[in-house]
Structure 1
């Protein structure tokens, strides 16, 4: 795993968890404006997820690290992102599998899982690196996820 210092999120919670993970996936951006990226190509994506909350679950976790990995790695690793029709749509630019949309999608998947947990932690940030020189940070809109 790449050793990286990620941007910090200021928040009012007493616990903060960060999970690094990576997966290899191919994609294409179905737009002429994407240039070479409109053709199928692949990346090894590096992702950091920041989760925070005030309460631990019955096992003493804010969230189990392994659950975060299962949600993302097991879903996307060694796949063509465009084939995940529940998340990406070739007809909708808001759902093209760009790094920006992928980071937002990772947030949506994780937050949906957290919303079902008893202790209700919040996903505060998704950092997604597509290449060694290019990355995206997704932060949910204020008020959408902080619950404050």
Structure 2
């Protein structure tokens, strides 16, 4: 994977972990204003996930990198995103756009993190859809502090 520098989220946690991954997926945006993006097309998505926390688990991890990859890569690699139940064909807040993809990845990761006794937080999700286009999702500060 290409080494990249990502914008850094502000936080006061002691640890910050970043996991890069890529996956290939197709999608379409089911709205006439999307132009050519209404047609099924594919991308190689590059994703960076930032997790923060103050406590390590019994293995010395904030979270095992493999768990992050299993949650996202296994679910989305070589799929048609629009067929995944996390996306919608009727509600624009749930279309498979880069913005929504970043938020949905955050939701999936944070849902898992909430089950861990050390309660790490997902501070940022960076999704690059093309070499020149990306989106960053950061939760509101109050979600990061819970």
> What TM-score range do you get, normalising by the shorter chain?
over 0.9
Work out the CA distance in 2 between the residues paired with 1:32 and 1:145.
36
Q: Does 1:139 align with 2:134?
A: no
* Offset from partner CA, 1:98-146 (integer Å, 9 cap, x none): 0000000000000000000010000000000000000000011120122
Other-structure match for 1:119: 118
CA distance in 2, matches of 1:35, 1:53: 42
C-alpha distance in 1 between matches for 2:145 and 2:132:
30
TM-score when normalising by structure 1 = 0.97
8 Å CA contact retained: 1:124, 1:146: no
Q: For the residues of structure 1 that align with 2:72 and 2:10, how far apart are their CA atoms? A: 24
Count how many residue pairs are aligned between Structure 1 and Structure 2.
146
C-alpha distance in 2, partners of 1:37/1:48? 24
Q: TM-score, normalised to structure 2's length?
A: 0.98
**How far apart, CA to CA, are the structure 1 residues paired with 2:103 and 2:128?**
13
Across the aligned residues of Structure 1 and Structure 2, the Cα RMSD in angstroms comes to: 0.6
Q: State whether structure 2 residue 13 is matched by structure 1 residue 13.
A: yes
**Counterpart mapping for 1:1-148 below 5 A:** 1-85=1-85, 87-147=86-146
Unaligned runs of 5+ in 2: none
Cα deviation code 1:77-107 (max 9, x no counterpart) = 000000002x101010000000000000000
